């Protein structure tokens, strides 16, 4: 409020400001009447929760700063010297890991009781005490029911189903480099299926992509409006879309991971007491219940809260099939985090047209092959598939420390040196990938011509 009122003053003082000598900075007040939260969540979530919080603690005014996860990290890093943010609130645990690694988070011990240690295979709170889980999220397939009916498409049950030719051009997803939650999905499949098989599966699915969206919300948005029929999304996008009245539905495939969505106090926060208050509230029975608001629809981490959930709402503490098939290895994920992002972009996002062309040719050849045994054509198709599925690096190389360093290249000191450049490596990957896709298309076309 004071900001809005004082707005005209500075305009008039503007000229004086330039001339005036730097005044000594002075502290405004010691009272914690404000709380500044940096978050990647939409207003539907933030406004609903902070309204409930402000109602309970009328003295504190919540200020929300909405930025994409990546942009939030950058913002907190760039402003660390004169930090003005109290909390960071987002889904992807890896984002918190990055901030923790940079020493930008403050430790905090939660006082609220009743939160179990784990959800699925994941610890809810950071074992080192820097960030806290307040909700669980799983990844799955969301679809537009009108679209599916109009195009007469069956409902897929597993990731493998999405690779079927019938879904050609109907699927959408975001890229792991763009969205922390998508990164988890990609990593989950890689860990569930194994590195080589996992990548081959992703490329088979990607061959059916209509689009790779720039924002993670771009996927549910496109499914909601019917631009695409199926999307690979985080669960609450689907639940909240459905609650807003869109003709959509969602399921968890067997290979999925439940991970906590988190909140943390920023180091040197100007309002640490208010921030602690917010965490305690969010984890209390009252705060957990707010998560079931139709606009939010996230899985609470307090098992007791599920008693108040609407019928059909999944309960990971009861239904152990959700997220149980894979034991997600956070350390492994962290070990090749940037390599996976770069690989996905180089081989899928930026070469989607070539990949789609190759996949189409393979699908066409396979359709022709059905019912007409022809060993040579079959071999050619298998060869084409292998070419498409090929990844330029092995799992051990992707996880190697020196190799990863190239993709981080955050030189802390001027004398730190790394070998190789990311652009140089990506150039090689791109050349190899493009050649493979073109060759695969040729082989598949040749096979089809034989039949």
Partner 1 sequence: MKSLSESHWGPGALALFLSLFLLVFLVVPVTKVIYVAFQDPNSGALTLINFVDFFHNSLFRESFVNSLYVAGMSVLLSSAIAIPLAYFTTRFNFGGAVLIQTLGIVPLIMPPFVGAVAMLLLFGDNGSVNLLLDDWFGFTIPFMRGLNGVILVESIHYFPFILINLSAALLNIDRAMEESAQNLGASGVRLFRRIVFPLAMPGYVAGASLVFLKTFDDLGTPLLLNVNNMLAPQAYLRVTAVGINDPMGYVISVILVAFSLFSLWVSFLALRDKDYATVQKGGGGLMRRDLRRWEKIGCHAVVVLILVMVLSPHIGLALLSFGTVWSFSVLPDGFTLAHYENVFRTATQYISNTLLYAGLAAFIDVVLGTAIAYVVWRTGLPGRQWLDYVAMGAVAIPGVVLGIGYLRTFYEFQVPIVDEPLASWWVIIVVALAIRRLPYALRACVAGLQQVSVMLEEAAENLGATKSRTVWRVVVPLMSGGILAGFVTSFATAAVELSATIMLVSQQSDAPLAFGIYEFMQSSAGRGPGAALGIVAVVIVGIATYVSHRIIEKGEKKRQAGAAIAAAAGA
Query: For residues 304-343, which are near partner 1 according to CB under 8 A?
Result: 338, 341-342
Print the binding letters for residues 190-229 with partner 1: x by CB under 8 A, - otherwise.
Answer: --------------------xxxxxx-xx-xx--xxxx--
Print the binding letters for residues 74-103 with partner 1: x by CB under 8 A, - otherwise.
Answer: xx-xxx-xx-x-------------------
If the CB atoms of residues 46 and 262 are measured against partner 1, the closer one turns out to be 46
Single residue of 158, 244, 321, 379 touching partner 1 by CB under 8 A: 244
Cβ count within 10 A of residue 399: 17
State both tokens at 167. 């879904």
If the CB atoms of residues 25 and 127 are measured against partner 1, the closer one turns out to be 25
316 vs 91, 159, 310, 312, 408, CA distance in Å?
A: 17, 20, 14, 12, 35
Least distance CB 180 / partner 1 (angstroms): 11
If the CB atoms of residues 302 and 433 are measured against partner 1, the closer one turns out to be 433
State both tokens at 13. 């003082």
226 vs 145, 222, 230, CA distance in Å?
A: 9, 6, 9
Which residues make Cβ contacts (< 8 Å) with residue 78, sequence separation at least 6? none
Give the span between the Cα atoms of 352 and 212, in whole angstroms.
8
Rg, Å, the chain Cα set? 25
**CA end-to-end distance (rounded Å), the chain:** 74
Which region, judged by CB under 8 A, interacts with partner 1, from 132-140, 244-252, 317-325, 367-375?
244-252
Strand, coil or helix: what is 216? coil
Q: Does residue 345 belong to the site contacting partner 1 (CB under 8 A)?
A: yes
If the CB atoms of residues 317 and 429 are measured against partner 1, the closer one turns out to be 429
Least distance CB 52 / partner 1 (angstroms): 16
Least distance CB 214 / partner 1 (angstroms): 5
Provide the total of helices (H) and of strands (E) in the chain, helices listed first.
Answer: 19, 14
Least distance CB 321 / partner 1 (angstroms): 27
3-state SS track over 224-261: HHCCCCEEEEEHHHHHHHHHCCCCEEEECCCCCCCEEE
Give the span between the Cα atoms of 261 and 94, in whole angstroms.
10
Nearest one of 265, 261, 169, 268 to 216, comparing CA atoms: 261
Least distance CB 286 / partner 1 (angstroms): 23
If the CB atoms of residues 438 and 450 are measured against partner 1, the closer one turns out to be 438
Least distance CB 224 / partner 1 (angstroms): 6
Q: Contacts with partner 1 in 3-22 (CB under 8 A)?
A: 3-4, 6-7, 10-11, 13-14, 16-17, 20-22
Least distance CB 191 / partner 1 (angstroms): 22
Give the span between the Cα atoms of 383 and 109, in whole angstroms.
56
Handedness of CA 270, 68, 94, 43 (dihedral sign): positive
Least distance CB 243 / partner 1 (angstroms): 8
Which region, judged by CB under 8 A, interacts with partner 1, from 193-201, 314-322, 347-355, 374-382?
347-355
For residues 142 and 241, is the Cβ–Cβ distance under 8 A? yes
Q: Contacts with partner 1 in 46-65 (CB under 8 A)?
A: 47, 63-65
Handedness of CA 60, 262, 38, 22 (dihedral sign): positive
Which residues make Cβ contacts (< 8 Å) with residue 259, sequence separation at least 6? 91, 92, 93, 119, 120, 122, 136, 137, 138, 184, 328
Single residue of 130, 237, 252, 437 touching partner 1 by CB under 8 A: 237
Least distance CB 133 / partner 1 (angstroms): 21
Q: Does residue 290 belong to the site contacting partner 1 (CB under 8 A)?
A: no
Q: Contacts with partner 1 in 404-433 (CB under 8 A)?
A: 407-411, 414, 417-424, 426-427, 430-431
Cβ count within 10 A of residue 401: 7
Q: Does residue 402 belong to the site contacting partner 1 (CB under 8 A)?
A: no
If the CB atoms of residues 243 and 324 are measured against partner 1, the closer one turns out to be 243
What's phi and psi for 140, nearest 5 deg? -165, -160
Q: Contacts with partner 1 in 245-284 (CB under 8 A)?
A: 245-248
Print the binding letters for residues 145-184 with partner 1: x by CB under 8 A, - otherwise.
Answer: -xx--x------------------------x-xx------
If the CB atoms of residues 278 and 317 are measured against partner 1, the closer one turns out to be 278
Per rule CB under 8 A, count of chain residues that contact partner 1: 98
Least distance CB 244 / partner 1 (angstroms): 4
């Amino acid at each position: 409020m004071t900001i809005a009122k004082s707005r005209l003053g500075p305009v008039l003082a503007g000229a004086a400001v330039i001339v005036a000598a730097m005044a000594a900075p002075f502290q405004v007040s010691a009272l914690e009447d404000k709380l500044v939260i940096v978050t990647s969540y939409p207003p539907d979530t933030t406004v609903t929760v902070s309204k409930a919080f402000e109602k309970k603690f009328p003295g504190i005014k919540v200020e929300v700063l909405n930025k994409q996860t990546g942009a939030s990290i950058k913002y907190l890093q760039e402003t660390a010297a004169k930090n003005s943010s109290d909390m960071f609130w987002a889904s992807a645990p890896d984002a918190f890991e990055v901030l923790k690694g940079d020493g930008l988070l403050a430790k905090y011990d939660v006082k609220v009781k009743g939160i179990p240690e784990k959800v699925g295979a994941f610890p809810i709170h950071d074992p080192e005490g820097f960030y806290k889980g307040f909700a669980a999220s799983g990844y799955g397939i969301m679809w537009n029911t009108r679209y599916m009916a109009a195009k007469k498409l069956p409902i897929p049950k597993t990731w493998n189903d999405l690779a079927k030719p019938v879904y050609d051009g109907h699927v959408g997803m975001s890229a792991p480099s763009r969205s922390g939650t998508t990164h988890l999905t990609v990593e989950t499949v890689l860990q569930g299926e194994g590195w080589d098989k996992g990548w081959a599966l992703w490329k088979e699915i990607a061959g059916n992509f209509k689009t790779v969206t720039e924002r993670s919300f771009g996927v549910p948005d496109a499914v909601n409006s019917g631009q695409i029929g199926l999307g690979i999304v985080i669960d609450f996008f689907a639940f909240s879309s459905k609650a807003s009245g869109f003709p959509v539905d969602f399921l968890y495939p067997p290979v999925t991971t439940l991970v906590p969505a988190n909140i943390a106090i920023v180091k040197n926060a100007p309002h640490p007491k208010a921030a602690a208050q917010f965490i305690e509230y969010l984890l209390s029975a009252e705060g957990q219940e707010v998560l079931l608001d139709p606009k939010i629809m996230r899985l609470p981490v307090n098992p007791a809260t599920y008693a108040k959930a609407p019928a059909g709402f999944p309960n990971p503490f009861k239904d152990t099939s959700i997220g149980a098939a894979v034991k997600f290895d956070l350390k492994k994920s962290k070990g090749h985090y940037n390599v996976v992002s770069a690989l996905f972009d180089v081989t899928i996002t930026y070469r989607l047209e070539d990949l789609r062309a190759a996949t189409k040719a393979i699908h066409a050849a396979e359709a022709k092959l059905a019912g007409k045994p022809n060993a040579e054509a079959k071999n050619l198709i298998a060869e084409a598939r292998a070419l498409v599925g090929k990844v330029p690096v092995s799992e051990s190389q992707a996880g190697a420390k020196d190799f990863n360093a190239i993709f981080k290249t955050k030189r802390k000191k001027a004398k730190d040196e790394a070998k190789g450049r990311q652009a140089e490596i990506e150039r090689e990957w791109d050349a190899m990938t493009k050649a493979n896709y073109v060759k695969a298309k040729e082989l598949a076309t040749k096979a089809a011509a034989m039949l």
